[in-house]
Structure 1
Amino acid sequence: MKVADVARATGMSKTTLHKLYNGQSTRIDFETLEKLCVLLNVEVGDLLKFKQEE
Structure 2
Amino acid sequence: DSDDEDEIEHFDSTDSIIASVDTAQQQSNDYLLQTDNVQTNLDNSTEAQTVNL
> How does the TM-score come out when normalised to structure 2?
0.24
Structure with the higher fraction of residues in helix conformation:
2
Larger radius of gyration: 2
Structure showing greater relative contact order (alpha-carbon pairs closer than 8 Å, 6 or more residues apart): 1
**What TM-score comes out, normalization by structure 1 length?**
0.24
